[in-house]
Structure 1
Amino acid sequence: MSITPVLQITGLTGGYSLNKPVLHDIALQVQPGEMVGLIGLNGAGKSTTMKHILGLMSPHKGEIRVNDKTRLSDPEGYHGALSFVPESPLLYEEMTVREHVEFTARAYGVNRSDYESRSIQLAKLFRMEDKMDTLSSHLSKGMKQKVMIMCAFVARPALYVIDEPFLGLDPLGIRSLLDFMMDLKKSGASILLSSHILSTIENYCDRFIVLHQGKVVASGTLEEMTAAAGQPGQSLEQLFYELVQGGQ
């Protein structure tokens, strides 16, 4: 019996113009309890792929399913099954950290007791306990990023879509985030993670998908990709360089 992927993208072609698609026939999957690294140069199509998953852009061709639901067939079920951490924090300036986290919890239907226990856990994990009643306009960029992460993780959807989450975080914040994502993964959650810090995610992701010029040029575990490239034992960073710069 096959396991239904939490995220399944088939034949995705899309972009900002019908005449000039950014993505070309993208196919990828994220299985339950799996962390997949989406990597590529600037302009490779990573953020565009994520925008299509979030429903901010409509595919020219292809299909995207989250928990086997599409946005057209079941928009509430589709969006309720995923959570997003953007590259740049977007917060309401006149709301406190606590109000942001509670607002998100309410939007996802998280009950009061779960919200309270999770918000305490997240505030402690990201060392934001003394900032919970601070307006977001008074926070540093790194703290704003932590608020976005806390909002995403106060819910417990099937899929987390995370775009360059380490920007602005201090080393302790990065380690806390990685450890927490691993705990979520162990509990069965799925994560699609985009990052340029390849040396960091190499030891955390189960598989990798390499995008280059809007196409998937390699995918699989690091061992599978290095073997396919005829260069077993390479680091993710060196393999990535060979794939996108060396013409492999």
Structure 2
Amino acid sequence: MTLEIDHLVGGYSQIPVLKDISFEVNNGELVGLIGLNGAGKSTTINHVIGLLTPFSGHITIDDISLQENSEQYKKQIAYISETPVLYEELTLKEHIDLTIMAYQLDHDEAWKNATRLLKVFRLDNKLNWFPVNFSKGMKQKVMICCALMTNAKLFIIDEPFYGLDPLAVHDLLIEINRVKNSGAAVLMSTHVLDTAQKYCDKFVLLANGQVRAKGTLDELQELGTTPGQSLDDIYLSLAKEDRDGKSV
């Protein structure tokens, strides 16, 4: 097991956004974190990466919590945020070198991995560019390359498809599948449910800060009244029930 969230209550103020949520992301799994705006997806991710402190509950990666060993905990995570965050004074090459130092990677092996990814995302001829020269989509690709070149055990990817062209989306999905098949765990938040349905192994459906359903697509389909419902249909049905005050 890699990521375990156990009875997590948390948020940004004294009023909790997350209300006793629990789920796991195991080695070799891609888990889709699904929910409408305000459902608690970003709050969950911010707790996992250590930007927020839980009110109660526990988060562990391979049985290590942030409170027990913050350095070891964070070293196991690679994070791709929804909004690209780069250092304006550093070139693309310097971002790669910074990643190598931060994760204490073998220099030659890491640059070999980085070079392959830079070619995949068509950035290999832009090593001396600064972020000011990049479009939003190119900045997103820089973050993708920096994350995927690591040996992280857990990849957290927040709304990765916005700003990417169709070819980059295709390449990213291939790379996500590659790290998953290598044994890493991947937690991906997305609104693109048709893509999630096609590529994710399991799903966690959030609504109003609670886990409304979780499991494989087959397990989620058992919750519905119509056989063979799509992930989009299942989630909209649950969201409407929450809105109307009904229960399943």
Shorter-chain TM-score range: over 0.9
| Partner Cα distance (2:100, 2:161) in 1 | 23
| Partner Cα distance (2:124, 2:184) in 1 | 26
SS at match of 2:64: coil
CA RMSD of superposed structures (Å) = 1.0
How far 1:39 sits from its partner (Å)? Answer: 0.5
Is residue 2:246 matched to residue 1:226? no
Q: Which residues in structure 2 correspond to 1:47-58 (within 5 Å)?
A: 47-58=42-53
SS at match of 1:149: helix
| Partner Cα distance (1:115, 1:231) in 2 | 48
Q: Which amino acid aligns with 1:17?
A: S
How far 1:106 sits from its partner (Å)? Answer: 1.3
Matching residue of 2:167: 172
| Partner Cα distance (1:212, 1:63) in 2 | 20
Q: Which amino acid aligns with 1:109?
A: Q
TM-score by length of 2: 0.96
How far 1:132 sits from its partner (Å)? Answer: 1.8
How far 1:73 sits from its partner (Å)? Answer: 0.9
Stretches of 4+ moved more than 6 A in 1?
none
Question: Comparing 181-190 with 226-235, which one deviates more in the overlay?
Answer: 226-235
| Partner Cα distance (2:11, 2:89) in 1 | 34
Is residue 2:56 matched to residue 1:87? no
How far 1:55 sits from its partner (Å)? Answer: 0.7
SS at match of 2:199: coil
How far 1:246 sits from its partner (Å)? Answer: 4.0
Matching residue of 2:245: none
| Partner Cα distance (1:194, 1:80) in 2 | 21
Matching residue of 2:230: 235
Matching residue of 2:129: 134
Matching residue of 1:68: 63
**Number of aligned positions between the proteins:** 243
Matching residue of 2:145: 150
SS at match of 2:4: strand
How far 1:228 sits from its partner (Å)? Answer: 2.3
How far 1:158 sits from its partner (Å)? Answer: 0.5
TM-score by length of 1: 0.96
Q: What are the Cα deviations for residues 70-111 of structure 1, in whole angstroms up to 9, with x where unaligned? A: 011111111111110000001111211111122012100110
How far 1:236 sits from its partner (Å)? Answer: 0.8
SS at match of 1:202: helix
How far 1:115 sits from its partner (Å)? Answer: 1.4
